[in-house]
Chain A
């Protein structure tokens, strides 16, 4: 991870991936802070873990099957009440496709 430190361009790229807009000033500050954090994380380089399996779940658990039984869920109108915009029983979003 010797080349881990993050560049200004990388910050902008990651912001795009994360669907965040950052002003130049915010991006510069972000770069500085992430650089310090990633620099600290280089400490992990002292460990050779190539033969160590990853732990994605701390407690071993399996995903048991359950019967697929239809159930009542929340009321649609109650859910749509929380939407910034709704229309005809659905969430309203900005136009995605032009329709002729």
Chain B
């Protein structure tokens, strides 16, 4: 599998020993709304914070240390840290009906669009 997207590229150090990563996402649009997927390995339901403020959706996934204490690292290819990313929502998203689900380290957020008003035919009468 060719992993074109490397988390490393976006990793930035916010604290000497604490990494904050930008998780890779997919967004696709359906007739009903937008579906957003984010890869958040190591994040559990209890350690995930989702917040909508004004029109900004912020996700913060906290990752607990995965390794028992006293483990001696022999070989390190990836770093562990928290995930943070925010999105600007368009005006048609119904904030109160946003749904989120977390499974196997992947977050799925459904952002429903407000149903468009049905076009109304205006009767034109002849004078």
A and B held together in a complex: no
